[in-house]
Amino acid sequence: MIEPDGFIIHGAPVNSRESLRLRGRDEPCSTFQGGDMSNITPRTMGQQFGRRSWAEPWKIKMVEPLRMIGRPDRERALAEAGYNTFLLRSDDVYIDLLTDSGTSAMSDRQWAGMLLGDEAYAGSRNFYHLEEAVQTYYGYRYLTPTHQGRGAEHLISRALIKPGMYIPGNMYFTTTRLHQELAGGVFVDVIINEAHDPTNMHPFKGNIDLNKLADLIARVGADKIPYVSLAGTVNMAGGQPVSMANVRAVRELCDRHGIRIFLDATRMIENAFFIQEREEGYAATPIAAILKEFCSYTDGAWMSAKKDNLVNIGGWLAVNDSELFDTLRNMVVIYEGLHTYGGMAGRDMEALAIGIAESVEEDHVRSRVGQVRYLGELLTDWDIPIVQPVGGHAIFLDAKRFYPHIPQDQFPAQRLAAELYLDSGIRAMERGIASAGRDPETGDHRYPALELTRLTIPRRVYTQAHMDVVAESVKAIYDARTQTRGLKMTYEPQYLRFFQARFEPL
Q: What are the catalytic residues?
A: 121, 173-174, 264, 307, 431, 498
Told to check if 435 binds ligand PLI by CB under 6 A, we report no
Task: Give 48 or 304: the residue with its C-beta nearer to ligand PLI.
Answer: 304
Told to check if 359 binds ligand PLI by CB under 6 A, we report no
CA dihedral in degrees (233, 237, 145, 335; nearest 10)? 160
Binding residue for ligand PLI, selected from 104, 126, 144, 235, defined by CB under 6 A: 235
Told to check if 264 binds ligand PLI by CB under 6 A, we report yes
Reply yes or no: is the peptide bond before residue 233 cis, omega within 30 of 0. Answer: yes
Among the listed ranges 108-116, 147-155, 159-167, 409-417, the one in contact with ligand PLI (CB under 6 A) is 147-155
Told to check if 47 binds ligand PLI by CB under 6 A, we report no
CA angle 261, 267, 271 (to 5 degrees): 80
Told to check if 298 binds ligand PLI by CB under 6 A, we report no
Q: How far is the CB of 442 from ligand PLI (least distance, A)?
A: 26
DSSP string, 257-322: HT-EEEEE-TTHHHHHHHHHHHBTT-TTS-HHHHHHHHHHTSSEEEEETTSTT--SS-EEEEES-H
Binding residue for ligand PLI, selected from 306, 329, 339, 459, defined by CB under 6 A: 306
Beta strand extents in 368-432 (DSSP E only) = 394-398, 429-431
CA angle 139, 106, 63 (to 5 degrees): 165
Binding to ligand PLI (CB under 6 A) within 148-177 occurs at 148-150, 173, 175-176
Report the alpha-carbon distance of residue 117 to residue 325 in Å, rounded: 26
Beta-strand pair 300-304/260-264: parallel
Report the alpha-carbon distance of residue 266 to residue 241 in Å, rounded: 12
Told to check if 339 binds ligand PLI by CB under 6 A, we report no
Give residue number: closest CB to ligand PLI: 149
- Inter-residue contact 506 to 403 (CB < 8 Å): no
Told to check if 96 binds ligand PLI by CB under 6 A, we report no
CA dihedral in degrees (86, 411, 203, 364; nearest 10)? 20
Told to check if 271 binds ligand PLI by CB under 6 A, we report no
- Inter-residue contact 362 to 286 (CB < 8 Å): yes
Q: How far is the CB of 105 from ligand PLI (least distance, A)?
A: 17
Binding mask 378-417 for ligand PLI (x = CB under 6 A): ----------------------------------------
Reference 460, options 358, 348, 391, 314; nearest CA is 358
- Inter-residue contact 331 to 151 (CB < 8 Å): no
Q: How far is the CB of 481 from ligand PLI (least distance, A)?
A: 25
Told to check if 144 binds ligand PLI by CB under 6 A, we report no
Binding residue for ligand PLI, selected from 266, 340, 414, 453, defined by CB under 6 A: 266
- Inter-residue contact 272 to 289 (CB < 8 Å): no
Task: Give 200 or 312: the residue with its C-beta nearer to ligand PLI.
Answer: 312
Told to check if 315 binds ligand PLI by CB under 6 A, we report yes
Task: Give 294 or 478: the residue with its C-beta nearer to ligand PLI.
Answer: 294
Q: How far is the CB of 99 from ligand PLI (least distance, A)?
A: 3
Alpha helices by DSSP H, 3-142: 17-22, 71-80, 108-114, 125-137
Told to check if 500 binds ligand PLI by CB under 6 A, we report no
Reference 309, options 36, 100, 454; nearest CA is 100
Q: How far is the CB of 307 from ligand PLI (least distance, A)?
A: 6
Report the alpha-carbon distance of residue 310 to residue 105 in Å, rounded: 7
Total residues binding ligand PLI (CB under 6 A): 15
Q: How far is the CB of 30 from ligand PLI (least distance, A)?
A: 34
Q: Which residues bind ligand PLI (CB under 6 A)?
A: 99, 101, 148-150, 173, 175-176, 231, 235, 264, 266, 304, 306, 315
